[in-house]
Amino acid sequence: MAQFLRIHADNPQLRLVRQAVETLRSGGLIVYPTDSCYALGCRIGDKQALDRMRVVRNVDERHHFTLVCGGLSEISHYAGVTNVQYRLLRMTTPGSYTFILQANRDVPRRILNARRKTIGLRVPAHPVVSALLGELGEPILSATLILPGEDLPPADVEDVRDYLNNKVDLIIESGSCGVEMTTVVDLTGDSPELIRAGKGPLTPFGFDATGG
């Protein structure tokens, strides 16, 4: 049965944050809040936890996961970032965006886009995530918490607590996160390409309301 922690969304309790991080370090799979919606997360190099995350999401090995980072320096550690890309990232992080970038050799091959060798990275604007990442000292490998048969994530993790009880090791509840997912932008080309319009505003990248 999953452990359940209520962590304050604005002032995360350090004792509880450390408890959650210990679960991650022990190979656990967790549910945690972000600035767009709830997410599943585990350590980058933990293959067993990654396989469990695929089972919860009901996705195969072609599904793309995201590295949730604490800041731009972590993004630069796991992906090649040009000066132009860095300026765009600096304008929009932290925020509700996922960026597709060229991964470097520190990223395990099993979480890369097999053909393009890219990875999704993001820096959420949420105090609980910031506290978790600060205590963990490395990114969290993540996927949006969308359950099989559903099109959207739950606004409040309490709504799916019973379903998740035997599928994850820890559930962090911090109130409603909404159901709007991140805006996904591919930065690997000559100019930004909108992959999915979501919660993050489009204007910093020159996209209009239709994504063009």
Q: Kindly report, residue by residue over 50-78, the tens digit of the pLDDT.
A: 999 999 999 887 888 999 999 999 999 99
* Cα radius of gyration (the chain): 16
pLDDT value, residue 141: 97
pLDDT value, residue 155: 87
Confidence (pTM): 0.94
DSSP string covering the chain: --EEEE--SSS--HHHHHHHHHHHHTT--EEE--SSS-EEEE-TT-HHHHHHHHHHHT--TTPPPEEE-SSHHHHHHHB---HHHHHHHHHH-SSSEEEEEEB-TTS-GGGS-TTT-EEEEE----HHHHHHHHHH-S-EEEEE---TT-SS--SSGGGGHHHHTTT-SEEEE-S---SPPPEEEE-SSSS-EEEE--SS-SGGGT--TT--
* Mean pLDDT, range 91-108, rounded to an integer: 93
Domains and CATH numbers, the chain: 3-205 (3.90.870.10)
Asked whether the predicted pLDDT for residue 17 surpasses 90, the reply is: yes
pLDDT value, residue 209: 62
pLDDT value, residue 212: 62
The angle that helices 127-136 and 14-25 make with each other, rounded to 10 degrees, is 60
Question: 42 near 49, Cβ under 8 Å?
Answer: yes
* Mean pLDDT, range 89-102, rounded to an integer: 96
Question: 112 near 141, Cβ under 8 Å?
Answer: no
* Mean pLDDT, range 39-43, rounded to an integer: 97
Q: Strand pairing partners for 183?
A: 97
- pLDDT, the chain, mean: 93
